[in-house]
Amino acid sequence: MHPSGVQFGLSQGLLRRRGEEILLSDQLLETISRQAQMHVQLGRPAIRGNFLVDITVRAAQDALGNHYQGRREEIVPFFASLNRTMYYTLCGVAERAGLAHKEPRRLLINPDFWNEFATKAVDANIKPGKSAAKIQKALFKVCHHIVKERYAKNDPDNVRHADLTALFIFNFWNATGLLPMTQAVVIFGSQL
């Protein structure tokens, strides 16, 4: 993030520093986590465009209210880099729960977590002929369940972030191609 965007975010309580990293503030993380909880409770699709970025931007705008106290040169870089800042923040949240390992330029899913998900996805016994949306919903349910279990075991103080983290991981798998491959395996497996 551009230094002027960082300064703006820090001055407004929307960002925080952890060493050299610039992350979402705890308050902003809590807000998007509550939005993710509502998303899951309402049964909305786990994959829906860039909705995680959308809720992060809305949460930042709501926190600022109508009094953007900053110059355009500060506000624009802040919002332009908010999606990347959200990504790095959620990588750290997933890492603390034992779901992934964050490297400087990439996120590596914990192999035990992936293996458990893949096994349970195949064992979910999804019936042939189900729509892609129903298959995704069933796979998200598996992912969500495992994430909640891992939070309870590895990071119980932050279990409130399980819905957000499950949505983040599931969308990450979709963006990297792992989810479509899993869907194909599940469909193929259900036809045997």
pLDDT tens column, 64-100:
886 666 677 778 888 888 999 999 999 999 999 999 9
Give the pLDDT confidence of 21-56 residue by residue, as tens digits: 899 999 999 999 999 999 999 999 999 888 999 999
pLDDT of residue 132: 81
User: Which pLDDT tens digit goes with each residue over 55-64?
Assistant: 999 999 999 8
Sheet strands (E) in the chain: 15-18, 21-24, 100-103, 106-109
| pTM for the structure as a whole | 0.91
Given a cut of 80, whether residue 145 has pLDDT beyond it is: yes
8, 25, 10: which is closest to 71 by C-alpha? 8
By the 8 A CB rule, do 101 and 110 touch?
A: yes
